[in-house]
Amino acid sequence: MINKDTIDRIMDATRIEEVIGEFVSLKKRGANHIGCCPFHNEKTPSFYVSPSKGIFKCFGCGKSGNAVGFLMEHEHYSYPEALHWLADKYHIQIEEEQMTEEQKEKQTERDGLFHVSEFAQKYFADLLYNNELGRAIGLSYFHQRGLSDDIIKTFGLGYCLDEWDNFTVYARRNGYSDTVLEKTGLTIFKEDGKVYDRFRGRVMFPIFSISGRVLGFSGRILSKEKKTAKYVNSPDSDIYNKSHTLYGLYQARNAISKANKCYLVEGNVDVVSMHQSGVCNTVASCGTSLTIEQIRLIKRYTPNVTVLYDGDSAGIKAALRAVDLLFEESMHVRVVLFPDNEDPDSYAQKYGSTQLQEFLRDHEENFVTFKTRVLLEGVENDPIRKAEVLKEIVHTIALVPDMIERQEYIKQTASNLNVSESILTQELAKTMASNAQKAWKEEQRQNNNTESRQNTEPQQPGQQATPETIPAPIIEPTSGLDSNHRFAEFQEQQLIRLLINHGNKTIMQDGIDEAGNPCPMSLPIAEIIVDELTSNELTFSNPVYQQIFNIYSNAVANSQPLPDANFFAMNPDSILRNTALTLMLNPYNISPLWQERKNITVPSILTHLRREVEESILSFKQKKLEQELENNALQLRSCTNPDDILILMAKRKELIELRQAVCTQLNRVII
């Protein structure tokens, strides 16, 4: 566990422009650096790096964060891995906190599972080349499948001898306990005391983590016995969860990022064969149907997935299910179905790598074409079945998050099936409304369950901001706000911008000393804004701005340090993080050359900061008063009770006087 002092030293030493500069070509522009964003394709640079704030922000795709966040996003590091990378770069020795006995015991057990898994992988790989039976059975099988020695070693393939306990005896002899052998599933222990190797007589496919550690195995039988399972997989353990793991991702991750595309196949042999054929951006689910967690793993590297499945009924069914799951996670999906009795491995063996790549290119379909073709087969003249197919396709289109994409799919479906676009659009609207209602009910149910189970304390701004410690804020959507709430957006934004960029700075304010005499006071801007808004019971219409204000209000109330750039940059809530970092960076700078040529001096906000704070608070108050006046007018129009009308009129008079006072302070005239 990296201690907080070490993390602070790493962050203090880190220069974000140096870190990002190793991956992106940056040019200095004013106080910032600018370059083309590494997270999306662009020709005009919109990727800004602020050395003074230690943050980056792309104004094209919205990515933002600090140096640690950049490494996690760009290099797909975990949080500790990113810290280790920075520590190595700036020659900082990692100091770890002393763990409790319970933590030590748990860590020791996990380490034991990793160690025995890596030990087993090396043993099986060694048998493949250095044991007579390993060469005769295992290696010859891989060679018959057309796999080269290089690809066999790249995937760490191996062989487990067809003996009851050969591996178990060898592992015990090397000091590994029965506990770790049982928990990893390498050895099966019977109640009668008998033990045997789970993978005996099988060729071995080790399953790696993203960082290259062995998590588990998949073993394929080579005999023709019908009663024996073709594949046996490691059971779930403290280090391995098959629904959270993709076979081949460790070997494919760089190719996926480079191609900005991932091929998803059904089996381990298919993955290895695709790599052998030069299609290295290929992965497979690990002994389970495709899961949401596996899709999210792919999404870390690319949003584009092409699903490759067999052309039989089982393959088609699996492909249809996978398409819907992928769309639910906002992926861009295409499909390739192989001919009957063919899969990527058999096709590559039969026709070679060149023809395989041509087949993939020529037979790739978007999901509308694919789903229409497979579902309508044989039912073109059945109107009832055709209507069911239309609903199936519309159901999938409804999962597409992008409105323009949905409309294009509707057009294509209408054209393919000779159906009116308006009918499909109506059906889409009904489906999306139904989905939204179901999602809302599920969210309400989960929120009720969460409220009844938990009473969590808010994150304090002074604490170290890490993905592990910051609770995800709950953010309500802003798109549904009416005009009464939206029209104060600019004033709200200005106040939050002042808090984020200048909250720690102090300005002189008129105050009163203990004797009651006028006395100028130096107060932090954050304290001034928080006190003014809190004392007047003013809130923000934009829920994200309100969350940011609450963070500052909590810090001021508890005399704690105000949040810095790292606090927001490492916040796991992307909406809050991007909002805060966008307000920290200004992509527009006035050219010093232009100022020199025009002989114009443009004062910075710092030269008139006090006035800026005062005007922003007063403008915010004015907009809130105008909002209350508008609500008051609406109430008066609908009110019929004479007493209530008098109360509302008195309230209106009070609001008008308050607004007049605020406008006088702002030197504004009300027309």
pLDDT digits (tens, 9 = 90+) for 47-57: 999 887 889 99
Report yes or no on 465 lying in a domain. Answer: no
Same domain, 232 and 281: no
Rounded CA separation 396/431 (Å): 10
pLDDT of res. 665: 79
Structure tokens at 120: 């087993």
φ/ψ of 127, rounded to 5, equals -60, -35
SS3 384: helix
φ/ψ of 334, rounded to 5, equals -130, 165
Rounded CA separation 166/135 (Å): 17
Q: Which of 221, 207, 220, 203 is nearest to 138 (CA)?
A: 203
pLDDT of res. 593: 58
pLDDT digits (tens, 9 = 90+) for 523-575: 888 888 888 888 888 888 888 888 899 899 888 888 788 888 778 887 877 78
pLDDT digits (tens, 9 = 90+) for 274-296: 999 999 999 998 777 899 889 98
User: Taken in order 517, 520, 522, 524, is the CA torsion positive or negative?
Assistant: positive
Same domain, 326 and 194: no
pLDDT digits (tens, 9 = 90+) for 378-395: 676 778 888 888 888 888
pLDDT of res. 511: 61
pLDDT of res. 471: 32
Q: What percent of the chain has pLDDT over 70?
A: 85
Q: What is the CATH number of the domain that holds 132?
A: 3.90.980.10
Rounded CA separation 84/69 (Å): 13
Q: How confident is the model at residue 500 (pLDDT cuts 50, 70, 90)?
A: confident
Q: Which of 331, 338, 328 is nearest to 364 (CA)?
A: 338
Calculate helix-pair angle for 489-502, 574-584, nearest 10 degrees. Answer: 80
Helix (H) or strand (E) holding 56: strand 55-58
Which residue did the predictor score with more confidence, 442 or 410?
410
φ/ψ of 229, rounded to 5, equals -60, 135
Mean pLDDT of 7-13: 85
Rounded CA separation 161/197 (Å): 9
Same domain, 65 and 142: no
Same domain, 56 and 124: no
Report yes or no on 409 lying in a domain. Answer: yes
Rounded CA separation 305/329 (Å): 11
Query: The domain containing residue 51 runs over which residues?
Result: 4-89
Q: What is the CATH number of the domain that holds 262?
A: 3.40.1360.10
Using CA atoms of 621, 622, 627, 633 in order, give the dihedral in degrees to the nearest 10: 130
| CB 86 within 8 Å of CB 12 | no
Same domain, 335 and 295: yes
Output the 3-class SS for 563-618. CCHHHHHCCCCHHHHHHHHHHHCCCCCCCHHHHHHHCCCCCCHHHHHHHHHHHHHH
Same domain, 136 and 79: no
Which residue did the predictor score with more confidence, 561 or 163?
163
pLDDT of res. 327: 85
Q: Which of 502, 441, 479, 404 is nearest to 52 (CA)?
A: 502
User: Taken in order 236, 239, 243, 247, is the CA torsion positive or negative?
Assistant: negative
pLDDT of res. 476: 33
Report yes or no on 427 lying in a domain. Answer: no
Question: Which residue spans within 161-235 are E strands per DSSP?
Answer: 187-189, 195-197, 202-208, 214-221, 231-233
Q: Residue-wise over 181-209: b if at least 16 C-beta within 10 A, else e?
A: bebbbbbbeeeeeebebbbbbbbbbbbbe
3-state helix vs strand vs coil in the chain, percent to 5 = 55, 15, 35
Residue that is last in its domain, among 89, 119, 149? 89
Q: Model's pTM, two decimal places?
A: 0.59
Same domain, 280 and 205: no
| CB 57 within 8 Å of CB 64 | yes
Report yes or no on 247 lying in a domain. Answer: no
Same domain, 508 and 643: yes
Residue that is last in its domain, among 21, 55, 89? 89
Output the 3-class SS for 422-466. HHHHHHHHHHHHHHHHHHHHHHHHHHHHHHHHCCCCCCCCCCCCC
pLDDT at 671 over 60: no
Highest mean predicted confidence (pLDDT) among 28-42, 344-358, 643-657? 344-358
Q: What angle do CA 134, 137, 138 make, to 5 degrees?
A: 65
Q: What angle do CA 381, 383, 384 make, to 5 degrees?
A: 130
Q: How confident is the model at residue 599 (pLDDT cuts 50, 70, 90)?
A: low
Same domain, 388 and 513: no
pLDDT of res. 606: 55
pLDDT digits (tens, 9 = 90+) for 443-496: 667 666 655 554 444 444 444 443 333 333 333 333 333 444 444 678 888 888
Count of domains observed in the chain: 4
Helix (H) or strand (E) holding 282: strand 282-285
pLDDT digits (tens, 9 = 90+) for 601-659: 555 555 578 888 888 888 888 888 888 888 888 888 888 888 788 888 888 888 888 88
pLDDT digits (tens, 9 = 90+) for 215-250: 999 999 988 777 788 899 999 998 899 998 999 998
Residue position matching structure tokens 């030493």: 13
Structure tokens at 370: 């694919």
Overall residue count recorded for the chain in this entry: 671
Residue position matching structure tokens 């907080």: 4
Residue that is last in its domain, among 393, 417, 441? 417
Same domain, 221 and 295: no
Q: What is the CATH number of the domain that holds 30?
A: 3.90.580.10
Q: What percent of the chain has pLDDT over 90?
A: 26
Structure tokens at 129: 């080349």
pLDDT of res. 96: 67
Report yes or no on 285 lying in a domain. Answer: yes
Which residue did the predictor score with more confidence, 628 or 263?
263
Report yes or no on 445 lying in a domain. Answer: no
Rounded CA separation 66/56 (Å): 6
Which residue did the predictor score with more confidence, 361 or 537?
361
Residue 305 bridge partners (DSSP):
262, 333
| CB 370 within 8 Å of CB 335 | yes
pLDDT at 77 over 90: no
CB atoms within 10 A of CB 601: 8
Report yes or no on 332 lying in a domain. Answer: yes
Mean pLDDT of 491-504: 86
pLDDT of res. 390: 86
Residue position matching structure tokens 């063919």: 342
Structure tokens at 445: 């149910």
Which residue did the predictor score with more confidence, 598 or 343?
343
Same domain, 610 and 578: yes
pLDDT at 419 over 80: yes
pLDDT digits (tens, 9 = 90+) for 164-205: 999 999 999 999 999 999 999 999 999 888 999 999 999 999
pLDDT digits (tens, 9 = 90+) for 112-153: 898 999 999 999 999 999 999 999 999 999 999 999 999 999
User: Taken in order 266, 268, 271, 274, is the CA torsion positive or negative?
Assistant: negative
Report yes or no on 474 lying in a domain. Answer: no
Which residue did the predictor score with more confidence, 202 or 670?
202
Same domain, 498 and 366: no
Q: How far is CA 102 from CA 107, 109, 113, 468, in A?
A: 9, 11, 17, 20
pLDDT of res. 122: 96
Q: Which of 601, 624, 336 is nearest to 487 (CA)?
A: 624
pLDDT at 339 over 80: yes
